[in-house]
Every structure is written in C-alpha cells, then in structure tokens.
Amino acid sequence: MDAALARAWVQAIAAAIDEHTDQLTQLDSAIGDADHGANMRRGFSACLDALADTPLETPGDVLVRTGATLISSVGGAAGPLYGSAFRAIGRALAGPDAGAEQVLSALTEGLTAVKRLGAAVPGDKTIVDAYTPAVAAFEQELWEGGGLAAAAAHAAEAAEAGARATTTMQARKGRASYLGPRSVGHQDPGATSTALIFRALAEVTVR
C-alpha cells in the first residue's frame, strides 16, 4: 500500500458512506440517536478536504491525517473510535509502500486502539464485532498464500458477516446498551460502517 492507494481507500470509504448514509441513520434510529449516518458523512467529507490540502508522501501520513480529521470533526462515539483506529493504522505504515503483512499489522494496531479506547469485547454489539473477524480473515488469507487484494476481499466478507451477526446480540457498550434487551433484533450501526470500510479496502486493492 502506497500513499495513492491509502488516498483511494479513504475516497472509496467516503463514497460508500455517502451511498449508505440513510441506512446507517436508520440503523442508529432503532437503537441509538439516529446520527451515525450524518456523523460518518461529516467525518469522511472532512477527510477528503484534509487530504486535498496537503501533499502526503506515505500511506502512514494519509491515514494519520485521516484519523486526526475524524477525531476533530466527528462528535459521538464513532469519531474518536475510528479516529484512533486510523491514526494507529497510519502510525504502523511508515515507509513509502507497505506490503500485505505490514498492512495486517497496521489493521491489527487499529483494532487494538478501538478496544483500548472503547473497552468493548466481541459480542458487545459494536465496531469490534465486524473489525475482529475482518482482521482474522485477512490474516488467514495471507497465511494461505493470498496477497493484499485477496486478503482485503476476505476481510470484507468477514466484516459483513460480523455486522449481520450483531443483530441477535444485546448491546453492552455505547448508547444502544441503555436499551438492554430491547437492543436485540437490530443490526449495529457501527459494525455496519466498519463493514463498509473493509469493503472499500477490497474495492481499491483490486484496481
């Protein structure tokens, strides 16, 4: 992954969020406060502006900038969580062109950052429920000899399955946890946006 690919990833995320803003808002209106679509759209549109401003030479520069922009532009839980994730991913991608193994460690650092900040574990009905299986599938594919594009494709599938699996979970973190058992039966908005982020990575890596 070079700086151009990192940029393309952020642009693909922004496009996917744009396309799915209403879906994310509807999911968040069922178990939250109906702002996840708007939060994500504001954040990634600010990222596009921030990236347009500056020549960024490494994938790490692009993704650290993305993380910092998400933290400063998105209120709510998801902004700091995704912001910390992208900052951690970026910090692990120093150098002009990261290989698939390095991308795996970077994605893992991002997950660690989300868990450190939000203290969620798998099963809590959060971002972690899509992100954890995505990283596992990415790693599995590399282990089986696949490259970056194949790993990202498997990660996207696993993230989508992980997001769907949040439907039957009871939320134990974030706003949805206030609903207790009434949070069951709805797919988690944050896990759903995480699946969009991994799908975007899969899209740009096959180009």
The verdict on 203 binding Mg ion (CB under 5 A) reads: no
As measured in angstroms, the least distance from the Cβ of 78 to ligand ADP is 3
- Please select the residue that binds ligand ADP; options are 77, 89, 93, 195, rule is CB under 6 A: 77
19-42 residues labelled b (16+ CB within 10 A) or e (exposed): ebbebbbbbbebbbeebbbbbbbb
Q: What is the CA radius of gyration of the chain?
A: 16
Q: Does 36 bind ligand ADP (CB under 6 A)?
A: yes
Query: Tokens at residue 135, please?
Result: 């990283």
Q: Check residue 173 for interaction with ligand ADP (CB under 6 A).
A: yes
Q: How buried is 174 (Cβ within 10 angstroms: 0-12 exposed, 13-18 middle, 19+ buried)?
A: buried
32 binds Mg ion (CB under 5 A): yes
Q: Would you count residue 91 as binding ligand ADP (CB under 6 A)?
A: no
Check binding of 127 to ligand ADP (CB under 6 A).
yes
Contacts of 113 (CB under 8 A, 6+ apart): 84, 85, 87, 88
Sequence-distant (6+) residues with CB within 8 A of 52 are none
Does residue 178 bind Mg ion (CB under 5 A)? no
16 binds, among ligand ADP, Mg ion, none (CB under 5 to 8 A by kind): none
In this chain, which stretch among 5-13, 57-65, 118-126, 178-186 interacts with ligand ADP, using CB under 6 A? 118-126
Burial profile 175-200: b = 16 or more Cβ within 10 angstroms, e = fewer: bbbeeeeebbebbbbbbbbbbbbbbb
CB of 147 to ligand ADP, least distance (A): 30
Among 1, 35, 107, 113, binds Mg ion (CB under 5 A): 35
Which of 128, 150, 163, 200 contacts ligand ADP by CB under 6 A?
Answer: 128
- Measured between alpha carbons, how far is residue 26 from residues 20, 36, 109, 186, 201 in Å? 10, 9, 30, 10, 24
Query: Does residue number 172 form part of the binding site for ligand ADP (CB under 6 A)?
Result: no
Asked whether position 90 contacts Mg ion by CB under 5 A, the answer is no
Please choose, from the candidates 44, 24, 42, 41, the residue with its C-alpha nearest in 3D space to the C-alpha of residue 33: 24
Which residues contact Mg ion (rule: CB under 5 A)? 28, 32-33, 35-36, 76
Which residues contact ligand ADP (rule: CB under 6 A)? 28, 32-33, 35-36, 39, 76-78, 81, 114, 118-120, 126-128, 173-175, 188-191
